A = this chain, B = another copy of it.
Amino acid sequence: MGEETQKSFYITTPLEEVLRELSKISIKRRVENVSINVAFGRVLAEDFFSPINVPHFKRASKDGYAVKASDTFGAEEDDPKTLKVLGELRAGEKSDLVTDKGGCVKIATGALMPEGADAVVMVEFTEEEENHVRIYRPVSPDENVMKIGGDIKEKQKVLSKGTILSIQDLGVLSATGVREVKVYSKPLVTVASTGDEIINPGADLEPGKIYDINSVTIIQAVRQSGGEPIYMGVIPDDEDELIKAIKYSLEKADIAIFSGGTSKGPGDTVPTALREVSKPDFLIHGVSIKPGKPTAIASYNGKPVFMLPGYPTSALVVYYTIVDPQIRRWAGLPPASRPQVKAIAGMRIYSERGRFNFQPVRLEHEKGEIRAYPVPTGSEAITTLASSQGYVEIKPEIQFIEAGEDIMVYLWT
C-alpha cells in the first residue's frame, strides 16, 4: 500500500491516456421506470411527451364572474353593466350552468368555465347585489381564462431525453398526471477493500489490524457520482480470492472498485489477477499521477475494474480523477463541476515532474485572503485528508508552485 516506496515494476501511463482508453468503452445503459416521487436528480432516458392537455378544461385564472365578454363591452366606472348571477362555480366543481346573454356565473380561480362564457371579470371590478352584479370594466374574449392546453398541449414534448430532473421538472411531470417516468438505471458499482490487515467496523481490533476506511468513503462517493454501490466486504490479500471477487463483480455489476493491494511489489498480485480473470480489453498498471501511481485498471467486455491504492487520500484522489467521470458517463450525467476557490499558495508546494499531481491542501483565511497549505499524502493518516478542504492540480511539467502564487483549489464538496 505504500506507493512511494515501490521500485517501479511497471511503466506508468499518463493520465490523459488512461482517460482516453476509458472513454472508448461503449456504455450499455439500462432504463427503468421510477415513481416521480423519487425521480429527482435522475436522468430521462427518453423524450417526455405530455399524455394530456394541461389544463384539460377551460379554466378561470382569476376569481370573479364568468361572462360573455361582449356583455361587458362599454362598461365604465360610472356606467357599469349589470348581469344576472346564474350561480356559483368553485374549483373542482362540475356543473350544467350555461352563461346566456345577460347572465354570468360567479367563479373561483381554477374552476371550470361554464358553457357560454368566454372571459372572467375580476372580482375587484364588480359589485354584487341580490343575484345581480355590476361590472365596472369591460373584458375581451379569453381574458383571465386559461384555454385547454394553454399550459401544456397533449403530445407536446415537454422534457428532453438526457434531462437531469429538477424540482421544476417534477412539477411539469406531475401536472401531466404521470406516476412514473423512464430514466437511466444507476450503474451498479461493487466496492471492496482488500488487505489482510483490514477489518470491519465494530470487529475486534487485534494488533496489526486496522478498520476499513475506503469502503465507507468510496460507497458514499459512488452515490454522489450517480452510481448504486454494492458493498462486497473485505477481500483478503490472495490472488484466488481477488479473482473470485472480480468475477463476481463482472457478473453482478457494471463497474468494480477495489482499494488496497495495488503495490504489493514483485509478487504483482493485482496485475496477475487481472490477467487471470479473463482476457482484458486493456490493462493499465501504474498511472502518472500523485498520489495514485500504483492504480491498476482493466476492462472486460466493456466493464471497467478499478484497483485503487489503499491509502484513503490516494484512493479518493484516484476516485475523483478517474472513476467518478466514468460512473457519471454511465449514469448519463455530465462531468462533475467541482466547486473551485481562488487561493494563494501559503508556502512552496512541491510536485513531482512527470506525474500529474493532485495535492490536497488545507485552506486558511488570513487578512482577507485564502491561503492554501499542502497536507501530506504519503501516509495512511486519515486526519490529514480530513483537514484538507480540497486539492490543487499541478501539471506534470511543473516542479513546484512558489509561495505567494495564485492557485485554483478544487473543493472536495
Contacts and interface: CB of A to CB of B under 8 A. Distances in A.
Interface in A278-297: none
B123 A5 contact: yes
A57 interface: yes
Contacts of A177: 201-203, 205, 211
Contacts of A197: 91-92, 110-111
Contact of A196 (B91, B166, B215, B379): B91
Interface string A1-43: 1101111000000000000000000000000000011001000
Contacts of A82: none
A179 interface: yes
A305 interface: no
Given A171-B217, A201-B177, A216-B170, A146 B209 contact: no
Contacts of A63: 2, 5-6, 263, 265
Interface in A363-413: 379-383, 385-386, 388, 412-413
A134 interface: no
Interface stretch (A48-56, A70-78, A239-247, A348-356): A48-56
Given A110-B310, A196-B91, A205-B56, A382 B2 contact: no
A233 to B, nearest CB: 13
Given A61-B379, A174-B382, 14 more contacts: A110-B195, A110-B197, A110-B210, A111-B197, A151-B382, A158-B383, A168-B316, A171-B216, A171-B217, A171-B316, A174-B201, A174-B211, A174-B212, A178-B202
Query: Which has the most chain B C-beta neighbours within 10 Å: A36, A158, A201?
Result: A201
Interface string A118-143: 00001110000000000000000000
A268 interface: no
Contacts of A201: 36, 174, 177-179
A312 B152 CA distance: 15
Interface string A64-98: 10000000000000000000000000111110000
A218 to B, nearest CB: 9
A359 interface: no
A109 interface: yes
A172 B40 CA distance: 30
13 contacts: A2-B108, A5-B64, A55-B380, A61-B380, A90-B196, A91-B208, A92-B209, A110-B197, A166-B386, A167-B220, A170-B217, A171-B316, A176-B211
Contacts of A209: 92
A110 to B, nearest CB: 5
A175 interface: yes
A258 to B, nearest CB: 15
A219 interface: yes
B91 A385 contact: no
A251 interface: no
A196 B36 CA distance: 22
A6 B90 CA distance: 15
A171 B5 contact: no
Contacts of A110: 1-2, 195, 197, 210, 310, 380
Contacts of A253: none
Contacts of A170: 216-217, 220
Contact of A413 (B52, B112, B166): B166
A46 interface: no
A172 B213 CA distance: 8
